[in-house]
Amino acid sequence: MAVERVLSGMRPTGQLHLGHYHGVLKNWLRLQHEHECLFFVADWHALTTHYDTPEVIEESVWDMVIDWLAAGVDPANATIFIQSRVPEHAELYTLLSMMTPLSWLERVPTYKDQQEKLSNKDLSTYGFLGYPLLQSADILIYKATQVPVGEDQVPHIELTREVARRFNHIYGREKGFEEKAEAAIKKLGSKRAALYEEMRAAYQENGDEEALEAARAMIEEQQGMSMGDKERLLGYLEGGGKIILVEPDYKLTPASKMFGLDGQKMSKSYNNTISLREPLDAVAKKIKTMPTDPARIRRTDPGDPAKCPVWQLHEVYSDDKTKAWVQDGCKSAAIGCIGCKQPVIDGVVNELKPIQARAAEYAEDPTLVKNIVAEGCERARKLARETMREVRDVMGLNYS
Ligand code: TRP
Ligand code: SF4
């Protein structure tokens, strides 16, 4: 299988809560053991909506990185960095803006949706319109092949794919492409060259996707071949020109929607969250005061877990035995709501305890955290510089 590179970002706009943990971070933890991963703090993206309250961003950046580390994102397995410390993102964003039709950005659904939703803010800015293109630059600059995102972000990845395709179409047509591709085939050695020709024909003549995948994998694994030749061979497989920017796939985060204290999706804007740094006695208090099935007015009134937000938390935190106890006990009024909530309190507390202990260690050692990020930025920057060299080259900017 071809090597996958995973990239994802998060906006630093406040404290992380259990919704982030179950919805995003646990997925990152799994991915970091399976693929090369880059995770970054999207501080410029945060500025598109918080340009008038930059202090929120400043406060959130380091806490967010600490929460990632405390949750188990491992700097030995994943590159952790900050978007604004890799200014190449901005350069690519500018260059991509030259060839991205305005209508592509205007029709991204989040543009109008968010403007309406955040109507208390003036979001008729150039930066907000450009939000998805900046995201495209984030992704394309690392030639990421996989982007784990929630459903709402899918249109941004679709846009990224279109931008990459257009870029390759415009700038991947070098003079004498076919001759150069044919010469690169020879460099594969006779056996592999024959295999390449065979697989290319299987794809181009019969649409054999497996052959395409196998050929891509072979090229990527080829030792001692220049980037340029590899890209020619990859582009030649599909017919067109050189593939400079890679079209990413999106990976929908498995729908593990975390419900909040009121039964709605857990979200800061609903004021129904439990933050990762929530003091544990406050956790217990929040759960104890959660609403339950309104039918249970007296302790002797039976209820229905399906109508109770506490049940949604049992679904996350309780084993089958406890869940059966809740179902039976609630419907027959054998248990009270206070008793029913206790296993949920225990579950959340047990989950948060080790995270908070690790967070405290990192919080006490800001130098360690800054070093981890500095190293990550350095690594990310190296990759970004390589792509920018190629991009400048094909866009005619490498004159001296
Ligand atoms: N827009 C994303 C969000 O709000 C954050 C983000 C910025 C991102 N750049 C990215 C996610 C690149 C994935 C890849 O969640
Ligand atoms: Fe909800 Fe449990 Fe009370 Fe039933 S017993 S209403 S599930 S808290």
Contact predicate 47/58, CB 8 Å: no
Does 57 share its domain with 137? yes
Q: Which domain holds residue 199?
A: 177-237
In a domain, 385, yes or no: yes
Q: Is the CB of 225 under 6 A from ligand 2?
A: no
In a domain, 264, yes or no: no
Does 203 share its domain with 350? no
Percent of the chain with pLDDT over 90: 80
Does 38 share its domain with 156? yes
Nearest ligand for residue 331 CA: 2
146: CA distance to ligand 1 center in Å? Answer: 13
CATH code for the domain of 300 = 1.10.240.10
Asked if the model's pLDDT at residue 396 lies above 90, the reply is: yes
Does 31 share its domain with 74? yes
pLDDT band (50, 70, 90) for residue 1: very low
Give residue 255's pLDDT.
Answer: 62
Does 9 share its domain with 82? yes
In a domain, 243, yes or no: no
Does 162 share its domain with 35? yes
In a domain, 272, yes or no: no
Count the domains in the chain. Answer: 3
Give residue 116's pLDDT.
Answer: 87
Q: Could you read off the pLDDT of 67-114 as tens digits, one per residue? A: 999 999 999 999 999 999 999 999 999 999 999 999 999 999 988 888
Instruction: List ligand 1's pocket residues with C-beta within 6 A.
Output: 7-9, 11, 42, 45, 135, 138-139, 147, 149, 153
Q: Could you read off the pLDDT of 156-208 as tens digits, one per residue? A: 999 999 999 999 989 987 778 888 999 999 999 999 999 999 999 998 888 88
Percent of the chain with pLDDT over 70: 99
Contact predicate 40/383, CB 8 Å: no
10, 60, 134, best to mutate for ligand 1 pocket (most atoms within 8 Å of CB):
10
Give residue 2's pLDDT.
Answer: 55
Mean pLDDT of 367-379: 98
Asked if the model's pLDDT at residue 16 lies above 70, the reply is: yes
Complete DSSP assignment for 87-140: THHHHHHHHHHTTS-HHHHHT-HHHHHHHHHTTTS---SHHHHHHHHHHHHHHH
pLDDT band (50, 70, 90) for residue 3: confident
Could you identify the atom of ligand 2 that is nearest to the CA of residue 341?
8
In a domain, 267, yes or no: no
307: CA distance to ligand 1 center in Å? Answer: 34
135: CA distance to ligand 1 center in Å? Answer: 6
288, 340, 342, 344, best to mutate for ligand 2 pocket (most atoms within 8 Å of CB):
340
Does 304 share its domain with 371? no
Could you identify the atom of ligand 1 that is nearest to the CA of residue 7?
14
Q: Is the CB of 325 under 6 A from ligand 2?
A: no
Q: How many other CB atoms are there within 10 angstroms of residue 360's CB atom?
A: 13
Q: Is the CB of 340 under 6 A from ligand 2?
A: yes
Asked if the model's pLDDT at residue 52 lies above 60, the reply is: yes
In a domain, 160, yes or no: yes
162: CA distance to ligand 2 center in Å? Answer: 49
Q: Is the CB of 335 under 6 A from ligand 2?
A: yes
Complete DSSP assignment for 238-283: HSSS---SPPPEEEEPP--PPB-TTSSBP-GGGT---BTT--HHHH
Does 76 share its domain with 195? no
293: CA distance to ligand 2 center in Å? Answer: 6
Does 148 share its domain with 184? no
Find the angle CA(170)-CA(171)-CA(176) to the nearest 5 degrees. Answer: 110
Does 152 share its domain with 184? no
